[in-house]
Amino acid sequence: MSIWFQEYTLKDFEQFNTQNIHHSLGIEFTKIGPESLSASMPVDERTIQPAGILHGGASVVLAESLGSVGSNLIVDPSRFYCVGQSINANHIRPTQSGKVTGTSVPIHLGKTSHIWSIEIKNDKGKLVCVCRLTMAIIKK
């Protein structure tokens, strides 16, 4: 059984990748499962810090994007919208090149809030960052 409000395909995600921070940072949604959502982001001049490694803030943007889009795909969009309320990130190892991929899974899906766990891994599958995101569900 799926957690999504309706059946979605990756083609439906094209709307989330234009004229916003996803486009600016090169974030692309790559997989939608019955209870998870994944996206990748390049580690390049748009996402590194002056020391030449992935900026922690870029990791947080990837994590919040996954949870925010995920929550908005769970609720009835004619009645609700979802916004980030709180995020925590633990940066585990540096990454200097390639891309990172984040996968979000819900921990809690309530009527007024969702909580997501997001793991971000490098090209070698090694953990780069873990995040926990709380989303507020707001009536339109």
Count CB-CB contacts under 10 A for residue 102.
27
Residue 111 lies in a domain: yes
Residue 4 lies in a domain: no
CATH of the domain at 22: 3.10.129.10
Query: How many separate domains does the chain show?
Result: 1
Residue 124 lies in a domain: yes
Look up 7 and say whether it is catalytic: no
Catalytic residue among 7, 28, 64, 119: 64
Count CB-CB contacts under 10 A for residue 28.
19
Residue-by-residue pLDDT tens, the chain, 140 positions: 799 999 998 888 777 677 889 999 999 999 999 999 999 999 999 999 999 999 999 999 999 999 999 999 999 999 999 999 999 999 999 999 999 999 999 999 999 999 999 999 999 999 999 999 999 999 99
Residue 5 lies in a domain: no
Query: Domain limits at 52?
Result: 10-139
Residue 46 lies in a domain: yes
Angle at 119 between CA 97 and CA 58, to 5 degrees: 50
Residue 48 lies in a domain: yes
Edge-to-edge strand order for the sheet containing 28-32? 28-32, 37-42, 99-109, 113-121, 127-139, 80-91
